[in-house]
Amino acid sequence: MSTIADVVRVAQEAKRASAELALLSTQAKRKALLLMAKGLLKDTSSIKRANARDIKDAEAKGFSGALIDRLRLTDSRIKDMAQSLKAITSLKDPVGSIGEWRKRPNGLLIGKMRVSIGVVGIIYESRPNVTSDSVGLCLMSGNALILRGGSEAINSNLAIYSSLIKSAKASGIPKGAIGFIKSTDRRAVGVLLKQRDLVDLIIPRGGESLIKMVAETSRIPVIKHYKGVCHTYVDKEADLDMAEEISFNAKVQRPGVCNAMETLLVHKKVAKEFLPSVAKRLRDAQVEMRGCARTRKILKGIKAATNKDWPEEYLDLILSVKVVDSIDDAIAHIACFGSQHSDAIITEDRRAADKFLRSVDSAAVYINASTRFTDGGQFGMGAELGISTDRLHARGPMGLVELTTYKYVVYGDGQIRK
């Protein structure tokens, strides 16, 4: 079957399944996800063998260490995938819930009911865990889904999908509710993006080039997860020990992810005291620092940051550092170069914290905490389908509620409009 015909078939099957899936009981969805979690653990060896083939190919192609880390599956990461599915089952099912009731003078009772979106297409790169997270969240929110992963993870994604689909069939999930486009032909993405009569939403997860291509090409609404140029601003009233721990964690704990810090901003009044201490820890962790002129006067020998560095999402052990005159300068820098993902202030000054919180227009704004917490699991959502940097229809980690929309329900007892 051709690439075009295969994509259209998967989309048609997902559309047919979506109506039945939207009416599936909470109990049935939870049962399926728990069976999937058990299946992943049972199939750990075969999933790791498939992943080893992807890792070998990635190394042969000279992929970066950060990309290979995103691609790699270990026993621990597969357990985390299974745990995410279990965690989703413990969350409240939003589908069918009605809220925001209002009673009109004429007696009409009006509420908002949460309903499934329909068919969601997920286009993603590198991270095989997106396969299971997407299945868990879309199934629990009553959405059919179509998965299209990148060629670099094709073996891993297929192995995970095969495990999940076995459990789905055993649980009575409607046929076609979990679709997978096996072709690595780039034309497959273009075909999927044209299926506006069959697919209701597209969520791309990957590099900036992929997301831009999807947003510019799609005839279907897109929720974008643009790059994560995350900042940590160390204020003049910061607890510097706390600031060091948070900055180190935000950069080093896992540098190849979208919520890792890419730029460190430091108030000029604490720069001479703070920068040498944190720089030593960063150097010991093999972090390459690139600084502004004032930073380089304090940290001798580091590279000069250029205009290309400030908006860069390194996804690696590289950090831009800038000394700023004030909190206003820090906020202005974030507004100019940030990606509206996650940004943090470290300060003991409540007024400064409040100003930063109100002024920084990002999906997640932190006071005295690492940006690494911008994650569906860490936010208590079980998992997520990405971090939306859009304003509509969702923003920040996309969990169950963000994968639903609403309709108005109106109860009457014979009212007519006069």
CA angle, corner 197, sides to 384 and 142, nearest 5? 35
How many CA atoms within 13 Å lie on the side-chain side of 93?
22
Residue 67, classed as helix, strand or coil, is: helix
Give helix 44-60 / helix 154-171 axis angle, nearest 10°.
160
Taking only the tens place, the pLDDT of each residue in 182-192 is 998 889 999 99
Please, are residues 41 and 149 in contact by the beta-carbon 8 Å criterion? no
Taking only the tens place, the pLDDT of each residue in 201-228 is 999 988 888 899 999 999 999 998 888 9
Give the pair of three-digit tokens for residue 402.
């963000």
Portions of the chain given CATH number 3.40.605.10: 3-223+398-411
Q: Which residues, at least 6 apart from 7, have a Cβ–Cβ distance to it below 8 Å?
A: 181, 183, 188, 191, 192, 195
Whole-number mean pLDDT of the chain?
95
pLDDT of residue 78: 97
CA distance linking residue 66 with residue 150, whole number of Å: 16
CA distance linking residue 230 with residue 346, whole number of Å: 14
With 70 as the cut, is the pLDDT of residue 350 above it? yes
CA distance linking residue 130 with residue 160, whole number of Å: 10
pLDDT of residue 284: 97
Q: How far apart are the first and last CA of the chain?
A: 59
CA distance linking residue 265 with residue 360, whole number of Å: 14
Taking only the tens place, the pLDDT of each residue in 224-258 is 888 899 999 999 999 999 999 999 999 999 998 89
With 90 as the cut, is the pLDDT of residue 107 above it? yes
Tell me the average pLDDT across 26-46. Answer: 98
Portions of the chain given CATH number 3.40.309.10: 230-373
With 60 as the cut, is the pLDDT of residue 1 above it? no
> Which of 115-119, 239-243, 313-317 shows the lowest per-residue confidence on average (mean pLDDT)?
313-317
With 80 as the cut, is the pLDDT of residue 375 above it? yes
In 3D, which of 250, 207, 258 has the Cα closest to residue 229? 258
Tell me the average pLDDT across 332-338. Answer: 98
Domain 3-223+398-411: CATH architecture, name and number where available: 3-Layer(aba) Sandwich (3.40)
pTM: 0.87
Q: Is the peptide bond before 225 cis (omega within 30 degrees of 0)?
A: no
With 90 as the cut, is the pLDDT of residue 4 above it? no
Tell me the average pLDDT across 280-303. Answer: 97
In the structure, what pLDDT confidence band is assigned to residue 113 with cuts at 50, 70 and 90? very high
With 90 as the cut, is the pLDDT of residue 126 above it? no
For domain 230-373, the CATH class is: alpha beta
pLDDT of residue 186: 87
Give the pair of three-digit tokens for residue 72.
């790699």
